[in-house]
Amino acid sequence: MKKPVLVVLALTLGMALAQSVSLNGAGATFPYPLYAKYFDAYQKLTGVRVNYQSIGSGGGIRQLFAQTVHFGASDAPLSDEKIAEFEQKFGTQVIHVPTALGAVVPSYNLPGVTQPLNFSGPVLADIFLGKIKKWNDPALAELNPGVKLPALPITVVHRSDGSGTTYIWTEYLAKVSPEWKAKVGVGKSVSWPTGLGGKGNEGVAGLVRQVPGAIGYNELIYALQNKIAYGAVQNRAGKFVLADLASVRAAAELKDFPADTRVSITDTPAPEGYPIASFTWILVYRDLDKDKAVKSRAEAEALARLLDWVIHDGQRYNEALHYAALPEVAVKVSEANLAGLRYHNEPLNQK
Amino acid sequence: MNLRRRYLRDRLMVGLVYLGTSVVLLPLLLIIGYVFVKGVGALNWDFFTKPPAPPGEGGGGMLPAIVGTFIIDLMALAMGGLLGLGGGVLMAEYPEHPLNRPLRMVANVLGGIPAILMGLFAFVVVVLPMGGFSAFSGSVALAILMIPIIMRSTEEVLKLLPWELREAGLALGLPRWRVTLSLILPAAKGGIVTGLLLALARAAGEAAPLLFTAFGNQFLSFDPLGPMDSLPLKIYVYAISPYEDWIQQAWGAALLLALMLMLTNFIARRAMRRR
């Protein structure tokens, strides 16, 4: 009677011990569909299991500071103050590893309107400030000649959790609208003048889908995968641009790339560039032994190898999921950064 | 004439009682029926045997969540059951013990705390010091949730036993601990197990305490010190997602969770009756 129980126990224990390295990460929902694909492929390739939970960029940064994860993920780079706090607290640097480029699109639910609408930065700011209340507002009609806009009230949908997508969105709106900058500002979570909150990119997409007349903001893939309509946005050159790989890539063509990779590409001057695009980052400790979640040299090495794979071979998964691959210059800078990863002051073997 | 009227009134009252009963049962049946109709379509072989697929790809299943639910809940039952039983026995069998008053207060307060705070507590005392999310920390959160329920039900059941039973044991020269262990607990077995099951059922449906403890894991894991998935967590994540197939799977998971709880209940009751 007791024997089968023991056998099962031994088996379970054996399986637990035989398991190869597993890494844990948490953060941004913006690249979640891509990361899920990366880590699914990486597990099949190497057997290393990377568990990623999309709890929002704010949560990802918090867990990185709490040392409960091997890596955090965020679409907003750490601010200078946060970096200073990190360095002072942990005695090491934080490394930003860009993994992909994405676009944040104004997603909306307007029954009866089939062609993509045109938006401009100031109009989007006014909508999210609650100043434009109806879909047939003259400001919107002027941008969309020939489109029959319904007299539906606009329901603004925004994120309820700390979000890098929110950071990108508000950073862009602050660049194009002085009123937005003064009243709401830039951040991973801001005090919204109006609207409903959804948790994660998933939550916002879900709400927009359910509420006729709703407008929200989503990473492009969430709009595409869920067949939610999204609009074109007027860039600095005056052109209405729909978010796609080409327009995001155009926005990311930078001459000089900062060594810490913290760069904003919203409101791009590129004539063909989409104005609300951004890099998304994985954040790790440079001295991996300082992160309590990293329990052994083997784990540190697995993490270094994973990141190396993501910025090289992993990039080929980006474009199928509508995230632009990293530009060459970003890969070069990241290689140098990753070469600096250490464990107890010894460099890590990355290959 | 008078008699017939009395019969009539009797039948009317019985009718009202039936009506009341069915009104009470109706929401339960509606919930189970609705979950069944929505969820039964998601239950297929893949659902039970595969790990989840990346979003938008379709396919995939709930295997890690199903296994994780069992592991996390059983660990929680082992911890919470032991402590809850101990507290219940102390309160019922040693009414004069000075620890009783504070214990009762703790049980009452604990019972009124929202479940998510148990998760926060486990995050602070287990996850942070250990440097990582783990199934164990999730079990701790659920165990704390179970303790007041088990404590109270154990106390109630033990108090129902006739005091003469204890006197008989003491008269035979048994020490007090022996009376409790060999006479009282076996006599109250049925009620105690019911209490344990109630606590298990309550905890098994909770997602909030697991959010920042068990954390979730898309891979099948048996490691109690690593992140692990669980059905309520999956339901929470999938139900708010915009993906049709994930929402469908959330319904399936809800149905499975309900069925599992009913089955546990049923099996335990049957096993108890036989002995």
Instruction: Based on the fold, state whether residues A219 and A291 are members of the same structural domain.
Output: no
Residues of A in contact with B240 (CB under 8 A): 198-200, 202-203, 206
Taking Cα atoms as reference points, which of B138, B109, B111, B110 lies closest to residue B126? B138
Whether residue A246 lies inside any domain: the answer is yes
Residue where a domain terminates, one of A251, A266, A293: A251
Q: How far is A56 from chain B (nearest CA, A)?
A: 13
All domains of chain B, ordered by start, with CATH? 45-274 (1.10.3720.10)
Q: Complex ipTM, two decimals?
A: 0.80
Whether residue A64 lies inside any domain: the answer is yes
Mutation site for B-interface testing, chosen from A19, A68, A294 by largest number of B Cβ within 10 Å: A68
Residue B274 binned pLDDT confidence (cut-offs 50, 70, 90):
low
Taking Cα atoms as reference points, which of B260, A163, A151, A75 lies closest to residue B268? B260
The structure's pTM equals 0.85
Give Cα separations from B186 to B100, B151, B157, B192, B193 (angstroms). Answer: 23, 17, 12, 9, 11
Whether residue A261 lies inside any domain: the answer is no
Residue B246 binned pLDDT confidence (cut-offs 50, 70, 90):
confident
Instruction: Based on the fold, state whether residues A221 and A317 are members of the same structural domain.
Output: no
Q: What 3-state DSSP class applies to A144?
A: coil
Residue B56 binned pLDDT confidence (cut-offs 50, 70, 90):
confident
CA A43, CA A21: separation in Å to the nearest integer?
Answer: 10
Instruction: Based on the fold, state whether residues A247 and A323 are members of the same structural domain.
Output: no
> What DSSP string runs through A64-95?
HHHT-SSEEEESSPPPHHHHHHHHHHHSS-EE
Residue A248's pLDDT is what?
Answer: 94
Instruction: Based on the fold, state whether residues A221 and A328 are members of the same structural domain.
Output: no
Instruction: Based on the fold, state whether residues A91 and A108 are members of the same structural domain.
Output: no
What CATH number should be reported for the domain holding residue A213? 3.40.190.10
Taking Cα atoms as reference points, which of A53, A203, A69 lies closest to residue B216? A53
Write down the H helix ranges in B125-243. 128-130, 135-160, 163-171, 176-179, 185-187, 189-204, 231-239
> Once rounded to an integer, what is the mean pLDDT over residues A219-230?
90
> Once rounded to an integer, what is the mean pLDDT over residues A326-345?
93
Residue B82's pLDDT is what?
Answer: 95
- Phi and psi angles of residue A137, each rounded to the nearest 5 degrees, phi first: -60, 140
Give Cα separations from B223 to B47, B64, B134, B267 (angstroms). Answer: 22, 12, 8, 27
Residue A8's pLDDT is what?
Answer: 52
What's the whole-number average pLDDT of chain B? 91
Q: What 3-state DSSP class applies to B162?
A: coil
Q: Tokens 């790790």 appear where?
A: A284
Is B223 an 8 Å CB contact of chain A?
yes
Give the max Cα distance, chain A.
Answer: 79
Token readout for B2 is 């008078």
Q: What is the pLDDT of residues B181-225, one digit of tens each?
A: 999 999 998 889 888 988 998 899 899 999 999 999 999 999 999
Instruction: Based on the fold, state whether residues A157 and A57 are members of the same structural domain.
Output: no
Mutation site for A-interface testing, chosen from B75, B126, B218, B249 by largest number of A Cβ within 10 Å: B218
* Percent helix, strand and coil across chain A, each to the nearest 5: 40, 20, 40
Q: What is the pLDDT of residues A286-296, one digit of tens each?
A: 999 999 999 99
Q: Are A174 and A185 in contact (CB under 8 A)?
A: yes
Looking at chain B, which residue has its C-alpha nearest residue A210? B242
- Structural domains in chain A (count): 2
Whether residue A328 lies inside any domain: the answer is yes
CA A281, CA A145: separation in Å to the nearest integer?
Answer: 39
Query: What one-letter code names the amino acid at B67?
Result: V
Instruction: Based on the fold, state whether residues A11 and A151 are members of the same structural domain.
Output: no
Residue where a domain terminates, one of A209, A232, A251: A251
Give Cα separations from B178 to B157, B174, B246 (angstroms). Answer: 18, 6, 54
Q: How far is A64 from chain B (nearest CA, A)?
A: 11
Is B128 an 8 Å CB contact of chain A?
yes
Residue A186 binned pLDDT confidence (cut-offs 50, 70, 90):
very high
Give Cα separations from A22 to A69, A297, A300 (angstroms). Answer: 11, 13, 11
CA B70, CA A143: separation in Å to the nearest integer?
Answer: 56
User: Is B157 a residue whose pLDDT tops 50?
Assistant: yes
CA B20, CA B2: separation in Å to the nearest integer?
Answer: 27
> Once rounded to an integer, what is the mean pLDDT over residues A219-228?
90
Residue A190 burial (C-beta neighbours within 10 Å; 0-12, 13-18, 19+):
buried
Instruction: Based on the fold, state whether residues A113 and A241 are members of the same structural domain.
Output: yes
Residue A14's pLDDT is what?
Answer: 47
At A51, which helix (H) or strand (E)? strand A49-54
Helices (H) and strands (E) counted in chain B, each on its own, are: 13, 0
Helices (H) and strands (E) counted in chain A, each on its own, are: 13, 14
- Beta strand A71-74 pairing with A22-27: parallel
- Phi and psi angles of residue A212, each rounded to the nearest 5 degrees, phi first: -65, 135
User: Is A173 a residue whose pLDDT tops 90?
Assistant: yes
Residue B194's pLDDT is what?
Answer: 86
Instruction: Based on the fold, state whether residues A26 and A95 are members of the same structural domain.
Output: yes
Would you say how long chain B is, in residues? 275
Whether residue A259 lies inside any domain: the answer is no
Residues of B in contact with A292 (CB under 8 A): 131-132
Residue B60's pLDDT is what?
Answer: 87
Query: Could you tell me which residues are beta bridge partners of residue A214?
Result: A155
Residue where a domain terminates, one of A231, A251, A271: A251
Asked whether the beta carbons of residue B222 and residue A206 sit closer than 8 angstroms, the reply is no
CB atoms within 10 A of CB A262: 16
Is A290 an 8 Å CB contact of chain B?
no
Q: What is the pLDDT of residues B104-125, one digit of tens each?
A: 998 899 888 999 999 999 999 9
Residue A18's pLDDT is what?
Answer: 47
Q: Tokens 């930078």 appear where?
A: A254
Whether residue A95 lies inside any domain: the answer is yes
Is A43 an 8 Å CB contact of chain B?
yes
Instruction: Based on the fold, state whether residues A11 and A93 are members of the same structural domain.
Output: yes
Instruction: Based on the fold, state whether residues A126 and A238 are members of the same structural domain.
Output: yes
Whether residue A239 lies inside any domain: the answer is yes
Q: Which B positions 181-200 lie with beta carbon below 8 A of chain A?
A: none
CB atoms within 10 A of CB A19: 16
Q: What residues make up the domain containing A50? A: 5-101+279-347
* Terminal C-alpha separation, chain B: 53
Instruction: Based on the fold, state whether residues A196 and A217 are members of the same structural domain.
Output: yes
Whether residue A272 lies inside any domain: the answer is no
User: Is A174 a residue whose pLDDT tops 70?
Assistant: yes
Residue A117's pLDDT is what?
Answer: 95
